[in-house]
Amino acid sequence: MVLVLTPSLALRLVTGRIPSRRTCRVARLLGARHLIQAAATAVAPRPEVLAIGGGVDAVHTASMLLAALRPARPARPAERRAVLADALMEAVLAAAGYSAGAVRTPVGQPRR
C-alpha cells in the first residue's frame, strides 16, 4: 500500500535520493500488483493460488537481479540498493508463497 500511496517516500528511504516520476510510476504499478495478488490470495487461499503467487514473486525476483547486474547500463549505487532490496523482498514473498502452498496439505493426505 505504501508503494501505491507514497512511492517517493518509500524509494527515498531505500536510496537516499529523490526518485524520478518514472521510477515512482513503476513503484506504484508494482505496489498495485502486490495488492491484486494479496486480494486474489485472500479470496482463494488454495495451494495452487499460493504457488502461482510464489511463481510471480520468483519471476519478479529474477527480473530485479538482472536489472541490478545488467552490463549495458550499470545501475548507480543508490539504484542498485533499491533494486536489490526489492529482489530480497520478492524472494521472501516467493518462499512464503511456495511454503504456504505446500503446508496447506496435511501430512499423510494425498493432494487433490
Please determine, for residue 33, whether its predicted confidence score (pLDDT) is greater than 80.
yes
Q: Is residue 111 part of a domain?
A: no
Rg (CA), the chain: 16
Q: Is residue 108 part of a domain?
A: no
Q: Is residue 20 part of a domain?
A: yes
Q: What is the pTM of this model?
A: 0.71
pLDDT tens column, 51-68: 888 889 999 899 888 888
Q: Is residue 73 part of a domain?
A: yes
Q: Please, are residues 64 and 83 in contact by the beta-carbon 8 Å criterion?
A: yes
Q: Is residue 95 part of a domain?
A: yes
> Could you identify the residue written with the cell 536489490?
84
CA–CA separation, 88 and 103 (whole Å): 22
Q: Is residue 83 part of a domain?
A: yes
Q: Is residue 93 part of a domain?
A: yes
Task: Give the range of the structural domain holding residue 82, as residue numbers without chain letter.
Answer: 2-103
What one-character DSSP code corresponds to residue 72? S
Q: Please, are residues 2 and 11 in contact by the beta-carbon 8 Å criterion?
A: no
Q: Is residue 112 part of a domain?
A: no
Please determine, for residue 74, whether its predicted confidence score (pLDDT) is greater than 70.
no
Domain count, the chain: 1
- All three cell numbers of 99, joined, read 511454503
Q: What is the mean pLDDT of residues 17-24?
A: 87
Please determine, for residue 110, whether its predicted confidence score (pLDDT) is greater than 60.
no
